[in-house]
Amino acid sequence: MFVLAITLAIFLIVAGLLTYALIRYRHHNLETYNEPAQIYGSNQIELAWTVVPALIVVMLFLTSSRVILATQDSTKPADAVDVVVIGHQFWWEYRYPKLGIVTANELHIPISDPAHPTPTYLEMSSADVVHSFWVPRLAGKMDVIPNRVNTMWIDPPTPGLYLGQCNQFCGVQHAKMLLRVYADTPEAFAAWVAEQKKPAVEDPSVAEGREVFLHSACVNCHTVSGTMANGRFGPDLTHVASRDTIASGAVNNNADNMKKWIDDPSTFKPGALMPPMHLNEHDLNAVTAYMMSLH
Amino acid sequence: MSTIPITPEVADEPWVLPDKGTIGMACLIVAESAIFLIFVVAYIFYMGQSLGGPTPQQVLELPIFVTICLLSSSLTLHWSVAALRKSKIGAFTAWLAATFTLGTIFMVGTGMEWHHLIYVDGLTIRTNLFGTTFYSLVGLHATHVIVGLAMLLVALVFALTGHVKQEHAHRMDVLSLYWHFVDAVWIVVFTVVYVLGR
Amino acid sequence: MADFVTSLPSLEAIDATPAQKPRRLMTEILYDWVTTVDHKKIGLMYIGYALLFMVAGGIEALIMRIQLAVPHNTFVSPEVFNRMFTMHGTTMVFFMGMPILFGFGNYLIPLMIGARDMAFPRLNAFSFWISALGGLLLYYSFIGGSGLYGAGTAPDVGWFAYAPLTAKAFSPGHSTDYWTISILLSGIGSIGTALNIVATIISMRCPGMKLSRMPLLPWLYLVLSNMVFITVSPLTAAQIMLMFDRYLGSHFFDTQAGGSAVLWIHFFWIFGHPEVYILVMPAFAFMNEIIPVFSRKAIFGYPAMVAASVGIGFVSMSVWAHHMFTVGMGAGANVFFVLSSMVVAIPTGIKIFNWLATIWGGKVRFATPMMFSVGFLFQFLIAGLTGVMLAAAPFDWQLHNSYFVVAHFHYVLVGGILFAFFAAFYYWYPKVTGRMMSERLGKWHFWLMVIGFHMTFDFMHIPGILGMPRRVYTYEPRPGWEALNLIVSIGALFQAVAILLFVINLIRSNYKGEIAGNDPWDAWTLEWSVTSPPPVYNFATTPVVYSRRPLWDIKHPEDPDWNYE
Ligand code: HEA
Ligand code: HEA
Ligand code: CUA
Ligand SMILES: [Cu+2]
């Protein structure tokens, strides 16, 4: 804000002077024309407009540096929540090492009471190309780079859904690599954690869909805990039905969209790295039902 | 403006400007240095970062002999141009031929080194980061040596056919500037790759 | 005033060139241009070629703006959108900005320093053709990007092409190869021309033109050419590495083999930031020539202007990582780059204030070149200030890669550089063709451009602050985003109309324009002492100068400049 005020002030002053000069010294009549006095420079004035901006620069620099140091060199409290964020081409993987949870695309964190801060520390890396994690209302952004771990922390004080999106061009569907961060009250967060820790639901009514799933290529790319499906190329599906959206926030999570997605991901996200699975209508319905049962 | 009606009273100082060939070559050298700098930075950045072997310690040997050849070729070229300036065409040609030979020995040495690395040690540009940075940095330098050799050869042919006169000393100056630069770069490459890098 | 100079004896001698040239065959003319080594013709080819690419890049921008006008638009597919911004950015920077800059440089520098040609005419032609080949290859990728059967592809990795997205694994096909090679070629061309410019300026000045008497335009070109050596070369090196990665399977930027993505990011911006200063230097240069002439005053603080330019050249080499505040550098590095980036504001400010002081107390004539210059002054001021905001790293953590950044750099590139180029076109067109450009069309062009520019790029700041990232082919309908994006897109149409008028003006005035004479603006530098268009040999006799404004001395023998310098 300070920076904004200073730059605004500079703009007003300089633009004002410029306008004044242009109006005051404009000249239309070329007939009664003689050259104005020639002035070649003035050391005092020039010195003045070197020194004054220099002072402003020093001021701006000091304020910026203070914020940088306060943000980057802050110490991590003991009860911080740790999340490992892994960027993938067009979706996000979240791992909670202390809690033993793996999920995707929708990040749940506890709110942080300013009196007893429980900030969330994100350790970020990428499985493929450079991405960037940006949820404007939570914090600035941080790039997510392969072969490198970047750390940032967030501590929203109020519960709610915070939207964001990948901020570094990462390929065809960079635009739909959306971010959803749910800041929960401590109770709601604890409930969510308990739910996520359970193994995948085994609902007998969708056993057929489960069979189809386990016998198609899905298992090469997706994990459903407690089954032979342990692929890591795509999002973990153990609790996919508990999420509000699928395909990294691209569409709402409901049976209809799920079916369209499995049939052909490019209806929502052309260029997504999940191939169309070419299941027949019957199998497709069965797998969809199975997916929707995975609460 | 030779017809400017009035001119200020200035002493008629002689109007001499630097030679454009030399300036041009100096610019080229600055630009080339920047290219080499980036390759050297990449080499240093990836030193010891390879995920697999072979490592420089295992396969690189100090190329002392060819280095001496290359560095002394700077000297011979210097003498050659000096001779040309004194209009001693015979000495000029002889020193030029010596320069060319020394440069060629250097290239042959590099070729033998690469042959050994590829076929005996199994290090190619794809093997690991060391291979990647080694071949590109040394290769970039070798490319410059080859370009230099080509130009020396042209000069040599002209010299042997008797086309080079004293007034061409100027052009030989520009060429020797390039050759000295290539030699200087070798000192950097040698230090980084064969001394620090091992 | 104009006929005053014509009355000089030596100039009459030149005027004696035959008025009616015999008609020649089309192929002869073509042959003439293709084989020419004349700096003026090469300059014009550079400019013409840059204009073509400006229209191409502009059409790509229009396609993007149509796609983004409303949320969830399906005007183009995501793949095509990604190609559009990559091609737009690459085209505008490497094949519009650089050639137009070298075009003006080629044309004007020998004339302004009283030389008959560039130092190395054949190298000059070579540099032009190699750059032209680069541009051609870039656009050929539309056809050749995936081989013949994958028709219709083009590079889609963004103009800074972060690794490892450019690796074979993530960008199969050949489109990225076309991108690297075309930039490599354009880089070689740039280095060649820059070398030529330095050698010309150092070694070919006419008698009496000490460096301290040289007009500011050659001075700025001297600075920017030296920057080209130090900054375009690293890009060339990085492109060579990328090519090795893609063709030979090396691992410079291959993260699977331990390579580093951040290395590319550094290499690119070591080039990228000074590059934007290379682009803005000629804009400064044009202002330095145009503002004094239309204010009827000598430039205020010539030595300070030179020092500031050199200063900007040096400082701009050390600021590159302000594009990298979010890659996770340490606090120390961030703080350093905040400081160095902000320091650029000081010499740039000196320039702004000196122009202001030049206008102050003058008699300002608002012809079209001056109007564009005034546009430049205001817009560059705002652009620079948003730049300083971005240089404050905590701001940048929010705004990096958002539409705020896009707005910032278009403010400089369009509001600053493009406006300055337009000013230069109106100013030197009479010299090049012998005819004036239409003032009426020029005013239309100016006002439409101003309206379009501000509609587009003023409103673009806000979605950025609201969290809209760049390089997205579509967006969710969120409050504020929709209306603003629509305004932005409409503004782009205004700009298109304006530029269309400009192109019409360029062509029409060549036939219908008022005859200009040698010195229509009553200016002071040497190029205005020769006929319009200048003869092949430029100067019949080598001029001799005694001050920074040789023509002022002629026009005002009672009060020549050398009394003050
Ligand atoms: C010609 C082009 C040009 C110019 C001149 C500038 C000038 C400046 N730019 Fe800009 N910039 C770009 C082109 C340019 N930029 C481009 C293309 C990008 C994006 C690339 C990409 O990501 O694709 C970019 C991005 C960019 C970023 C990165 C944003 C991001 O991606 O997160 C930053 C951050 O620091 C920045 C800062 C600056 C600064 C501090 C200046 C300064 O030089 C401005 C100095 C001028 C003034 C300040 C005004 C006049 C001064 C005064 C009146 C004196 C008083 C003022 C003070 C004391 C403050 N620019
Ligand atoms: C000098 C450089 C320059 C110039 C002049 C421009 C000019 C314009 N730019 Fe560009 N732009 C860049 C450099 C430039 N840009 C760069 C470097 C990027 C980053 C790319 C990247 O992210 O990789 C970018 C990115 C960029 C984006 C962001 C894309 C994204 O991130 O998703 C947008 C979006 O609005 C945009 C718009 C425009 C518009 C509307 C203009 C307008 O000013 C254009 C006006 C011109 C025309 C409209 C052409 C007019 C002529 C005609 C139409 C004639 C008609 C003729 C016939 C029909 C035959 N540009
Ligand atoms: Cu991931 Cu953009
Ligand atoms: Cu920059």
Which chain B residues have a beta carbon less than 8 Å from that of C257? 51, 128-129
Q: Please compute the mean of the pLDDT values over residues C408-421 and round it to a whole number.
A: 95
Flag if A35 and C556 touch (Cβ within 8 Å).
Answer: yes
ipTM of the complex: 0.93
pLDDT, residue A249, reads: 87
| A15-19, B39-43, C70-74, C347-351: least confidently modelled range | A15-19
Query: How many residues are there in chain B?
Result: 198
Measured distance CA(B72)–CA(B174) in Å, rounded = 18
pLDDT tens digits, residue range A209-240? Answer: 898 999 888 899 999 988 888 888 999 999 99
More confident residue, A60 or C493: C493
Measure A18 CA to nearest chain C CA, in Å: 6
Our CA angle for C420, C425, C427, nearest 5°, is: 90
For residue A51, give the chain C residue with the closest CA: C346
Average pLDDT in chain A: 86
At C259, the pLDDT band (50, 70, 90 cuts) reads: confident
- Nearest CB neighbour to C158, from listed A18, A67, A169: A169
**Is the domain defined by B20-196 classed in CATH 3.40.50.300?**
no
Instruction: Give domain limits for chain A.
Output: 81-194, 204-291
Per-window interface: B 131-150 vs C, CB < 8 A: 131-133, 135-136, 140
Flag if C233 and B45 touch (Cβ within 8 Å).
Answer: no
Flag if A150 and C327 touch (Cβ within 8 Å).
Answer: yes
Contacts of A78 (CB under 8 A, 6+ apart): none
pLDDT, residue A234, reads: 92
Contacts of C371 (CB under 8 A, 6+ apart): C423, C442, C443, C446
Give the DSSP letter string of B128-148.
Answer: -HHHHHHHHHHHHHHHHHHHH
Whether residue C442 has pLDDT greater than 60: yes
Which chain C residues have a beta carbon less than 8 Å from that of A11? 381-382, 385
Whether residue C2 has pLDDT greater than 60: no
pLDDT, residue C13, reads: 40
Measured distance CA(B174)–CA(C77) in Å, rounded = 54
pLDDT, residue C272, reads: 93
To test ligand 2's pocket by mutation, which of C85, C100, C484 has the most ligand atoms within 8 angstroms of CB?
A: C85
Nearest Cα residue to atom 3 of ligand 1 = C276
Whether residue C4 has pLDDT greater than 60: no
pLDDT, residue C16, reads: 41
Per-window interface: C 524-553 vs B, CB < 8 A: 526, 529, 541-546, 550, 553
pLDDT, residue B59, reads: 84
Measured distance CA(A173)–CA(B103) in Å, rounded = 53
Give the 3-state secondary structure of residue A151: strand
Flag if B49 and C258 touch (Cβ within 8 Å).
Answer: yes
pLDDT, residue B127, reads: 87
Query: How many residues are there in chain A?
Result: 295
Measured distance CA(C164)–CA(C171) in Å, rounded = 9
Give the DSSP letter string of C295-326.
Answer: HTSPPTTHHHHHHHHHHHHHHGGG-GGGG-TT
The b/e string for A208-225 (b: 16+ C-beta within 10 A; e otherwise) is bbbebbeeeebbebbbbe
Give whole-number Cα distances, B8 to A51, B118, C562, in Å: 37, 71, 8
- Is the distance from CB of C257 to CB of C231 less than 8 angstroms? no
DSSP collapsed to 3 states, C370-428: HHHHHHHHHHHHHHHHHHHHHHCHHHHHHHCCEHHHHHHHHHHHHHHHHHHHHHHHHHH
Q: What's the pTM? A: 0.93
Whether residue A49 has pLDDT greater than 80: no
More confident residue, A19 or C476: C476
Whether residue B95 has pLDDT greater than 70: yes
Measured distance CA(C564)–CA(C559) in Å, rounded = 9
Measured distance CA(B115)–CA(C440) in Å, rounded = 71
At C1, the pLDDT band (50, 70, 90 cuts) reads: very low
At C147, the pLDDT band (50, 70, 90 cuts) reads: low
Six-digit token pair at C294?
């239309």
Supply the CATH classification number for the domain A81-194: 2.60.40.420
pLDDT, residue C291, reads: 93
Supply the CATH classification number for the domain A204-291: 2.60.40.420
pLDDT tens digits, residue range C148-207? Answer: 555 557 888 999 999 889 988 888 888 888 899 999 999 999 999 999 999 999 999 998
pLDDT, residue C171, reads: 86
At C17, the pLDDT band (50, 70, 90 cuts) reads: very low
Whether residue C333 has pLDDT greater than 80: yes
| Chain C interface test: which of A32, A45, A57, A126 (most C C-beta within 10 Å) | A57
For residue C155, give the chain A residue with the closest CA: A171
Whether residue C358 has pLDDT greater than 80: yes
Give the 3-state secondary structure of residue A86: strand
User: Is it true that A81-194 and A204-291 share their CATH fold?
Assistant: yes
Average pLDDT in chain C: 88
Measure C512 CA to nearest chain A CA, in Å: 24
Flag if C249 and B42 touch (Cβ within 8 Å).
Answer: no
Whether residue B55 has pLDDT greater than 70: yes
- Is the distance from CB of C148 to CB of C136 less than 8 angstroms? no
- Nearest CB neighbour to A147, from listed C261, C469, C471: C261
pLDDT, residue C6, reads: 36
The strand pair at A131-133 and A160-165 is best described as: unpaired
Q: Quote the ligand 2 centre to C230 CA distance (angstroms).
A: 27
Q: Quote the ligand 3 centre to A57 CA distance (angstroms).
A: 34
pLDDT tens digits, residue range C211-246? Answer: 888 999 999 999 999 999 999 999 999 999 999 999
- Nearest CB neighbour to A142, from listed C170, C303, C326: C326
For residue C365, give the chain A residue with the closest CA: A27
The strand pair at A106-110 and A251-252 is best described as: unpaired
Q: Quote the ligand 1 centre to C172 CA distance (angstroms).
A: 34
pLDDT, residue C409, reads: 95
Nearest Cα residue to atom 8 of ligand 1 = C387
* Ligand 2 neighbours by CB, cut-off 6 Å: C 55, 58-59, 61-62, 64-65, 85-86, 88-89, 92-93, 96-97, 158-159, 406, 410, 413-414, 417-418, 456, 470-471, 492, 495-496, 499-500
The b/e string for A120-129 (b: 16+ C-beta within 10 A; e otherwise) is bbbebbbebb
User: If residue A260 lies in a helix (H) or strand (E), which one and from where to where?
Assistant: helix A255-263
Closest ligand to the CA of C62? 2
At C267, the pLDDT band (50, 70, 90 cuts) reads: very high
Nearest Cα residue to atom 13 of ligand 2 = C89
Q: Please compute the mean of the pLDDT values over residues C242-270 and round it to a whole number.
A: 91
Per-window interface: C 268-297 vs B, CB < 8 A: 270
Which residue, among C94, C96, C102, has the nearest Cα to C225 in the 3D structure? C102
